[in-house]
Amino acid sequence: MNKLIFMLCVVALVLTGCNEEEKINALQQESAALSAKIDSLNSEIAKVKEIADNSRVISDTVRAGEGPFHVFSRLKAQVSNGEEDLGKVYVAIQDSVEFKLKVGETFYVTVDSDNRVRKFRYATNPVTVHVVSKTDTGFVYSRIDKPVVKKQSVYEGVLEEGSTLNGILFKVGIPARMVGIVSGVLQCKVAFPLARPGDRFRILLEDSYNQDSVWVGGKVIYAEFDGRIVGHHEAFRYEDEDPRSSYNAHYTEKGDALVFDGLRYPLEHLRITSSFGVRVHPITGKRTGHNGVDYGAPMGTVVHAVAEGVVTVSGYDDLSGNKVAIKHRDNSVSWYMHMQSRGVGVGAKVSPGQAIGRVGSTGRSTGPHLHFGFKNAQGAWINPLSKTMIATPKLEGARFARLQKQVAEIRKQIELTLASPAIKANDTTDVMVRMRLVD
C-alpha cells in the first residue's frame, strides 16, 4: 500500500511536469507520513480484532497412566463441536507427531468467541512446539523449534576392581539419564568381560538446554576405550544433514558402523508416527492393535529391504494397499505396506538395502507413510524396533568424506573442552569435569 501511494505521487509529478527538488521532497515526506499512519492504523485494527475475536486459551494436563485420548476427551467437552474440530486437528498432526505423553505435559487449545477450535499447541520438549492452526483451507500443522544452548563435557575414568561399567560411568559424573546410552555405545565395541581394572575411557557428551536451562537432550559425540586386553577403540557420532537420517549413528574412524549385523532401516529418514502395540485412537477412543511401525515420509520415497531374502508377497489389498513381504534366511518375514508402487515380484531375491518400492498412501491410510511390520520365524508379529537396525555397515563415498571432516572436528572439540575450566559435573555430585558452551 505504501508503494502505491509513492507511485501515485510520482505519477502526479510527471503529469504536472513539476521537477523541482523541494516539491519532490515534500511529497515524499507526505507519503512517508501517510504510510506511517497506515501502519499505526493497521496495528490498531489488529488490536481491535483481537478483542473482538474474544479468543481464549483452554488447556488440560496429562495425569498418571493417561494417553492422548484422556486429555483430548476432557478438552473435547469444553469446546463446541469438539469431536469434529479436534478430530481434524488430530488428522493434521498425526503424521508428524507421535503422542508419547509424560505426566504434566499440557495440550493448549485456543478457541474463538463461538468456542470453536482455532489453534492447538503441544510441546514435546521445551524447544519443540507442535501447532495446528485453523486456516481458510482447514487445519494446518506447523512446528516451532526454539533456540537451544549446547554444552560439551569430557568425562574420563579408569575401571576399578569390582566396579560395574554403569557404576563407574556414574561415578565420573556422567548424568544418570545418559549412563545407559554411553554404556551402550561402549559395549558395541568392547567385550566387557575382557575389560580389566586399570583400563581407561574418555567420553565427550553434548547436552542441549533451552534458555531456562532445562535439559532437552544429550548425545554421545565421542567414546574411547583403552584396555589391556580389549585394545584401543574409538567411536564417533556421525551426523547427516537431516537430523532424522537413519545414517546418524556411531562409527569408527574408518567408517565402520559400531553394529554391523543389524537389519537395514527401510527408509533413509526416520519419522515414527505410530509405534507398535495396542493404541487408543486419541479422538474416537477406539482401541486397536498396531502390528508394526508407521514411518511418515513424502510420497514416492524409496523403500528398502531390511535384509537379504526372497519376496513371498507382492500384491494389493483394500486394507494394506500395495504390500511386499520378504522372507529372510532365519524364516523371519519383513512387511512393507501402503506403498505407492512395488518394485519387486514374488520369487525375487533381494539384497539388504535394495529398493523394493515407494512410499504411498494406498489401502486404508490417511496420508503417505510406510507401515513396516516384522514377523518372527514362528509367524508372530514382533515390534520391529526391538530389532537392531542400522543404515549401513560402512559409510562410503560422500558420507565417508563427511565423517572424516566430522572426526577432525570432534578431535578439535575434545581439545577445546579439555582446555576449558573444570566445573561441577551435575547437581548431585562433587565430581569436576571440563565443560564448555558450544556455539
Q: Name which of 118 and 358 has its Cβ closer to Zn ion.
A: 358
**Nearest approach, Cβ of 272 to Zn ion (angstroms)?**
10
Binding site for Zn ion (CB under 5 A): 294, 371
Q: Name which of 255 and 296 has its Cβ closer to Zn ion.
A: 296
Query: How far apart, in Å, are the Cα atoms of 245 and each of 206, 210, 271, 391?
Result: 19, 23, 9, 9
Q: How far apart are CA 265 and CA 275, in angstroms?
A: 15
**Nearest approach, Cβ of 274 to Zn ion (angstroms)?**
6
**Nearest approach, Cβ of 98 to Zn ion (angstroms)?**
12
**Nearest approach, Cβ of 372 to Zn ion (angstroms)?**
8
Q: Name which of 183 and 274 has its Cβ closer to Zn ion.
A: 274
**Nearest approach, Cβ of 4 to Zn ion (angstroms)?**
53
Q: How far apart are CA 346 and CA 337, in angstroms?
A: 15
Q: How far apart are CA 358 and CA 301, in angstroms?
A: 5
**Nearest approach, Cβ of 290 to Zn ion (angstroms)?**
6
Q: For Zn ion, which residue has the nearest CB?
A: 371
Name the amino acid, one letter, at 268.
Answer: E
Q: How far apart are CA 331 and CA 329, in angstroms?
A: 5
Q: Name which of 115 and 383 has its Cβ closer to Zn ion.
A: 383
Phi then psi dihedrals of residue 88, to 5 deg: -70, -40
Q: Name which of 76 and 358 has its Cβ closer to Zn ion.
A: 358
Are 233 and 225 contacting, i.e. CB atoms less than 8 angstroms apart? yes
Q: Name which of 90 and 201 has its Cβ closer to Zn ion.
A: 90
Q: Name which of 76 and 369 has its Cβ closer to Zn ion.
A: 369
**Nearest approach, Cβ of 365 to Zn ion (angstroms)?**
8
Q: How far apart are CA 307 and CA 299, in angstroms?
A: 23
In 376-430, at which residue ranges do the beta strands (DSSP E only) sit?
381-382, 389-390, 422-424
Are 192 and 229 contacting, i.e. CB atoms less than 8 angstroms apart? no
Q: Name which of 291 and 426 has its Cβ closer to Zn ion.
A: 291
**Nearest approach, Cβ of 36 to Zn ion (angstroms)?**
56
**Nearest approach, Cβ of 296 to Zn ion (angstroms)?**
11
Q: Name which of 154 and 370 has its Cβ closer to Zn ion.
A: 370
Are 316 and 358 contacting, i.e. CB atoms less than 8 angstroms apart? no
Q: How far apart are CA 285 and CA 73, in angstroms?
A: 9
Cell of 28: 515524499
Q: How many CB atoms are closer than 10 A to CB 255?
A: 21
Q: How far apart are CA 78 and CA 50, in angstroms?
A: 21
Q: Name which of 364 and 424 has its Cβ closer to Zn ion.
A: 364
**What residues contact residue 375 under an 8 Å CB cut-off, 6+ apart?**
332, 333, 334, 335, 381, 382
Q: How many CB atoms are closer than 10 A to CB 415?
A: 11
The DSSP letter of residue 7 is H
**Nearest approach, Cβ of 293 to Zn ion (angstroms)?**
7
Sort 421 into a burial class: Cβ within 10 Å, 0-12 / 13-18 / 19+. Answer: exposed
Q: Report how far Cα 368 is from the mean position of its chain's Cα atoms.
A: 18
